[in-house]
């Protein structure tokens, strides 16, 4: 018994490592926009569900040796894991042009073998335990909790230690080694116990056949209950992840923190109910499905309080929110073992019965991910979605109470839910979430009564703009919604430097539209004929229209705006060539940032540059980013913390730059009016930067505004070149910070 539990506990660790790393690899191919993310995650869950059904079917055969099969499956998963990233890369190279349905199908087929085998292990090992103890609910509780504890621990160990230290390939090798070791150990144990593993002394009842103290819930009801539990739990997890991403300023650490806390709660709930299953069965025998109604009401109520806790307790908010999240997940984690105990009899087909309930939970989770992530959050605010989810949970409670035989309890319960609890939730949820985005952005530094002037919430994330026009994307500074080269709070002089290094750009690609200030400047640059702007979050488009100096970019016939992942767009348009490619990319330590900073991405950009073309991008002062650029391109020049990169030598023509500033117009208005002395002085100051050449001064990047390749390579000799595999500073930065 102890060996089996140890095996299943450890197997949860590599499973979670694979999930995060494989998803990351697939995102690099299909894009990290929310549609691709949701479809990739759904493909994982479908594989687990199909595997569970198959495992349940296998477990019903009396001659099947579950522990031996478990060991074999772990070996196969480990072997696949060793080659998995190469397989994903190969599949991606031949399927990059697929659409949404194709993304799902390709992702599903790519990870089908390992996810199928992972899903099959629970019903197999469940049957192994049931054959020995005759207890379904306790066996489910035990196995479900130990495996989930392994996955929960993997979230934190992976985020803080493994991913940053080993990179993608190293992390996968570690997971594969664990699978292979577990597989060999399980096979050895199974062979030692011999035919005892196939004992068939258990009753020959099916999963829906009641014994003397047998099930009191029909399988269809159990399936629906497990499905709704998965739907509501995963939907809330999506909301929590959004809030925590804002709290952690879009760092990669946010996702494994939420997932780890969620899984820890699930495991805790499954563990706690193990000693209470008999008591719960007694409650069900007296009150039918009313105890499940109470459990759902408790879970929904606590879930609704996670985000208010994150904004309502000052410095202690993170800890309080984490605790509330764990309690909420624990309530949902209790559902699967409890439903299995009530609906599935101990017998030859116990594994099959539990697998059906488990699949229902997975299907509900998948539907919740898709509906909430792609539909609800694209049309409603986060507080509105939270209220809708609470009402959904309340509706499940009412349905469960309908089957309560005591008429007074049935009518009173449904009446209280409809007339008191539901109206209170609708009215109270907005109050609980008051100042949500303001608090997550500024915390104690928020001025009294402060409110964002504009907020755009879409399935792709949250964009906010302050009254003074400062833009924040997913909680991080993202420029200014204005064009003012004189005051220049936005650092727009850096965009005008393109006139100094390229004599006549005609076709321009902008990766990351954001507030559109840069795109507006480039579209109005003399000689530019066409600009393609790729933006992953359509929320920016909603906000741009509110600012007159930016609005015209939406209707400019020279500008095509594409909502897509920039890397995916480049891969899908291999024949496109540009004189300038511009990426005012976000901070190098944010989740997914290395996808636009790695050697692999820079080589992709090189393929899209016309002869003499220049790539111009934001290094956010990272030595690793600057070294990577200097390692890929034969000619680079740092300008402040931006980088010019090209196949051809780069030089700064100050006279051409000054002339461009004199003639630059946006919507007919000059960037700088050379009839005014202060404007002429500003132009001279800007163009003087071209003569400030030397190694960067970290305290004043403009002291030596320009630095060329040899100096950059010498200065950054200790920095690590960013690759898709090492993911740059996404994980190491979160550990150090």
Structural domain contains residue 460: no
Mean pLDDT of all residues in 490-500: 95
Q: Which of 191, 152, 167, 322 is nearest to 247 (CA)?
A: 322
How is residue 89 written in tokens?
């890369």
Share of the chain above pLDDT 70, in %: 93
Instruction: Report DSSP letters for 121-190, one per residue.
Output: HHHHHHHHHHHHH--HHHHHHHHHHHHHHHHHHHHHHIIIIIHHHHHHHHHHHHHHHHHHHHHHHHHHHH
| pLDDT tens readout for residues 581-598 | 999 988 999 998 999 999
Q: Given 413, 448, 483, which residue is the final one in a domain?
A: 448
Structural domain contains residue 469: no
pTM here?
0.91
Mean pLDDT of all residues in 343-347: 82
Residue 210 has pLDDT above 70, yes or no: no
Give the contacts of 167 (CB within 8 A, at least 6 positions apart). Answer: 723, 725, 726, 727
DSSP helix, strand, coil percent of the chain (3-state; round to 5): 65, 10, 25
How is residue 664 written in tokens?
């630059």
Structural domain contains residue 587: yes
**Residue-wise over 305-321: b if at least 16 C-beta within 10 A, else e?**
bbbbbbbbeeeebeebb
Q: Which of 521, 527, 529, 496 is nearest to 657 (CA)?
A: 496
Which pLDDT value is given to residue 156?
95
Which pLDDT value is given to residue 698?
86
Rounded CA separation 708/644 (Å): 9
Residue 181 has pLDDT above 80, yes or no: yes
Which pLDDT value is given to residue 33?
62
692 pLDDT tier (thresholds 50, 70, 90) = very high
201 pLDDT tier (thresholds 50, 70, 90) = very low
Residue 360 has pLDDT above 90, yes or no: yes
| pLDDT tens readout for residues 46-93 | 888 888 888 888 877 777 788 888 899 999 999 999 999 998 888 777
- Contact predicate 213/277, CB 8 Å: no
Which pLDDT value is given to residue 200?
42
Residue 267, classed as helix, strand or coil, is: helix
Q: What's 544's domain CATH number?
A: 3.40.50.150
Residue identified by tokens 């600057």 is: 626
pLDDT, greater one: 567 or 29: 567
14 pLDDT tier (thresholds 50, 70, 90) = very high
Residue identified by tokens 């506990």 is: 9
Residue 128 has pLDDT above 90, yes or no: no
Residue 199 has pLDDT above 60, yes or no: no
Residue 32 has pLDDT above 80, yes or no: no
- Contact predicate 328/458, CB 8 Å: no
- Across all residues in the chain, what is the average pLDDT? 89
Q: Given 145, 168, 202, which residue is the final one in a domain?
A: 202
Q: Given 384, 418, 448, which residue is the final one in a domain?
A: 448
Q: Are residues 588 and 663 in the same domain?
A: yes
Sheet (strand 507-511) strand order? 559-563, 530-535, 507-511, 578-583, 609-618, 642-646, 635-639, 706-708
Q: Are residues 537 and 612 in the same domain?
A: yes
- Contact predicate 277/341, CB 8 Å: yes
Which pLDDT value is given to residue 30?
67
Domain that holds residue 371: 210-448
Among the ranges given (36-45, 621-630, 682-691), the one the predictor scored with the smallest mean pLDDT: 36-45
To the nearest 10°, the Cα dihedral for 256, 388, 268, 122? -80
How is residue 507 written in tokens?
């076709």
Q: What's 303's domain CATH number?
A: 1.20.1250
Q: Are residues 501 and 392 in the same domain?
A: no
468 pLDDT tier (thresholds 50, 70, 90) = very high
Which pLDDT value is given to residue 570?
94
- Most confident range (mean pLDDT) of 284-298, 366-380, 520-534 is 520-534
Rounded CA separation 702/709 (Å): 17
Which pLDDT value is given to residue 196?
52
Residue 437 has pLDDT above 90, yes or no: yes
DSSP annotation of 459 reads: T
Structural domain contains residue 470: no
Residue 614 has pLDDT above 50, yes or no: yes
DSSP annotation of 547 reads: S
Q: What's 100's domain CATH number?
A: 1.20.1250.20
Domain count, the chain: 3
Residue 312 has pLDDT above 50, yes or no: yes
DSSP annotation of 447 reads: P
Q: Are residues 668 and 570 in the same domain?
A: yes
Q: Are residues 217 and 187 in the same domain?
A: no
DSSP annotation of 573 reads: -
Q: Which of 463, 501, 447 is nearest to 655 (CA)?
A: 501
Q: Which of 572, 569, 523 is nearest to 544 (CA)?
A: 523
Q: Are residues 184 and 234 in the same domain?
A: no
Which pLDDT value is given to residue 493?
96
DSSP annotation of 721 reads: P
Residue 359, classed as helix, strand or coil, is: helix
Q: Are residues 579 and 715 in the same domain?
A: yes
User: How many CB atoms are located within 10 Å of the residue 414 CB?
Assistant: 17
Q: Are residues 281 and 405 in the same domain?
A: yes
Residue 627 has pLDDT above 60, yes or no: yes
Mean pLDDT of all residues in 83-112: 76
Rounded CA separation 55/119 (Å): 7
Mean pLDDT of all residues in 197-226: 59
Q: Which of 234, 173, 241, 230 is nearest to 18 (CA)?
A: 173
DSSP annotation of 722 reads: P
Structural domain contains residue 189: yes
How far does Cα 166 stand from its chain's mean position?
Answer: 20
Q: Which of 193, 198, 178 is nearest to 124 (CA)?
A: 198
Rounded CA separation 692/689 (Å): 5
- Give whole-number Cα distances, 549 to 122, 271, 453, 670, in Å: 59, 59, 17, 12
Rounded CA separation 177/162 (Å): 14
Residue 2 has pLDDT above 90, yes or no: no
Which pLDDT value is given to residue 569?
93
How far does Cα 479 stand from its chain's mean position?
Answer: 24
How is residue 179 written in tokens?
């699978």
Q: Are residues 227 and 162 in the same domain?
A: no
Q: Are residues 134 and 252 in the same domain?
A: no
- Contact predicate 399/71, CB 8 Å: no
Residue 576: φ, ψ to 5°: -75, 135
Which pLDDT value is given to residue 339?
92
288 pLDDT tier (thresholds 50, 70, 90) = confident
Structural domain contains residue 340: yes
Q: What angle do CA 649, 652, 654 make, to 5 degrees?
A: 160
Q: Are residues 508 and 589 in the same domain?
A: yes
Structural domain contains residue 478: no
How far does Cα 453 stand from its chain's mean position?
Answer: 27
Q: Are residues 572 and 606 in the same domain?
A: yes
- Contact predicate 490/484, CB 8 Å: yes
Which pLDDT value is given to residue 194?
65
Which pLDDT value is given to residue 101?
67
Which pLDDT value is given to residue 119?
87
How is residue 269 written in tokens?
């709930």
Structural domain contains residue 559: yes
| pLDDT tens readout for residues 376-420 | 999 999 999 999 999 999 999 999 888 777 788 888 988 999 999
Share of the chain above pLDDT 90, in %: 66
Residue 373 has pLDDT above 60, yes or no: yes
């Amino acid at each position: 018994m102890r060996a089996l539990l140890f095996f299943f506990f450890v197997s949860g660790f590599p499973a979670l490592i694979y999930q995060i790393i494989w998803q990351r690899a697939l995102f690099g191919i299909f894009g990290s926009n929310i549609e691709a993310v949701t479809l990739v995650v759904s493909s994982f869950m479908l594989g687990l569900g199909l595997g569970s059904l198959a495992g349940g079917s296998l477990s019903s055969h009396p001659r099947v040796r579950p522990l031996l099969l478990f060991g074999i499956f772990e070996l196969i998963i480990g072997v696949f894991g060793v080659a998995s990233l190469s397989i994903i890369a190969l599949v991606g190279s031949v399927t990059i042009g697929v659409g949404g349905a194709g993304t799902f199908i390709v992702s599903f087929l790519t990870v089908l073998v390992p996810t199928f085998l992972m899903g099959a292990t629970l019903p197999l090992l469940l049957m192994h335990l049931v054959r020995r103890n005759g207890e379904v609910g306790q066996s489910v509780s035990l196995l479900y909790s130990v495996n989930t504890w392994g996955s929960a621990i993997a979230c934190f160990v992976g985020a803080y230690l493994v991913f940053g230290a080993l990179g993608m390939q190293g992390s996968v090798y570690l997971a594969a080694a664990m699978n292979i070791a577990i597989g060999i150990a399980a096979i050895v144990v199974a062979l030692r116990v011999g035919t005892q593993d196939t004992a068939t002394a258990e009753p020959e009842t099916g999963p829906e056949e009641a014994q003397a103290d047998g099930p009191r819930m029909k399988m269809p009801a159990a399936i629906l209950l497990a499905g709704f539990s998965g739907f509501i739990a995963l939907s809330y997890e999506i909301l929590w992840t959004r809030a925590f991403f804002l709290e952690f300023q879009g760092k990669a650490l946010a996702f494994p923190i939420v997932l780890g806390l969620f899984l820890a709660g699930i495991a805790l709930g499954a563990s706690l109910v193990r000693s209470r299953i008999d008591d719960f069965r007694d409650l069900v025998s007296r009150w039918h499905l009313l105890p499940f109604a109470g459990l759902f009401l408790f879970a929904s109520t606590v879930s609704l309080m996670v985000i208010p806790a994150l904004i309502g307790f000052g410095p202690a908010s993170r800890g309080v929110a984490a605790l509330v999240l764990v309690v909420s997940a624990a309530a949902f984690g209790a559902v699967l073992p409890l439903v299995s105990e009530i609906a599935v009899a101990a017998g030859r087909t116990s594994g099959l019965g539990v697998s059906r309930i488990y699949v229902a939970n997975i299907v509900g989770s998948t539907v919740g991910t898709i509906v909430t992530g792609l539909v609800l959050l694209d049309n409603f605010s986060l507080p509105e979605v939270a209220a809708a989810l609470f009402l959904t949970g309340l509706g499940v409670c009412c349905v469960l109470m309908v089957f309560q035989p005591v008429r007074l309890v049935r009518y009173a319960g449904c009446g209280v839910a409809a007339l008191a609890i539901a109206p209170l939730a609708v009215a109270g949820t907005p109050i609980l979430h008051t100042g949500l985005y303001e608090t997550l952005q500024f915390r104690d530094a928020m001025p009294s009564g402060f409110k964002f002037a504009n907020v755009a919430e879409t399935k792709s994330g949250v964009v906010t703009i302050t009254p003074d026009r400062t833009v924040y994307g997913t909680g991080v500074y993202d420029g200014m919604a204005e064009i003012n080269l004189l005051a220049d709070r936005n650092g727009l002089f850096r965009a005008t430097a393109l006139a100094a290094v390229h004599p006549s750009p005609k076709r321009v690609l902008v990766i990351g539209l954001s507030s559109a200030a840069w795109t507006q400047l480039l579209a109005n640059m003399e000689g530019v004929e066409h600009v393609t702007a790729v933006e992953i979050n359509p929320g920016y488009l909603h906000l741009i229209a509110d600012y007159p100096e930016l609005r015209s970019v939406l209707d400019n016939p020279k500008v095509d705006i594409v909502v897509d992942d920039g890397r995916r767009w480049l891969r899908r348009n291999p024949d496109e060539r540009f004189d300038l490619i511009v990426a005012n990319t976000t901070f190098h330590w944010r989740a997914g940032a290395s996808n636009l900073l790695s050697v692999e991405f820079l080589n992709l950009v090189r393929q899209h540059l016309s002869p003499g073309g220049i790539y111009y991008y934001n290094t956010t002062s990272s030595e690793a980013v600057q070294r990577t650029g200097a390692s890929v391109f034969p000619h680079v020049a740092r300008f402040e913390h931006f980088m010019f990169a090209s196949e051809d030598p780069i030089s700064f023509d100050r006279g051409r730059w000054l002339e461009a500033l004199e003639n630059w117009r946006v919507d007919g208005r000059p960037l700088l009016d050379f009839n005014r002395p202060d404007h002429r002085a500003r132009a001279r100051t800007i163009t003087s930067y071209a003569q400030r050449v030397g190694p960067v001064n970290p305290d004043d990047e403009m002291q030596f505004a320009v630095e060329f390749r040899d100096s950059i390579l010498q200065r950054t000799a200790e920095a690590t070149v960013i690759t898709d595999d090492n993911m740059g500073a996404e994980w190491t930065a979160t550990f150090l910070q």
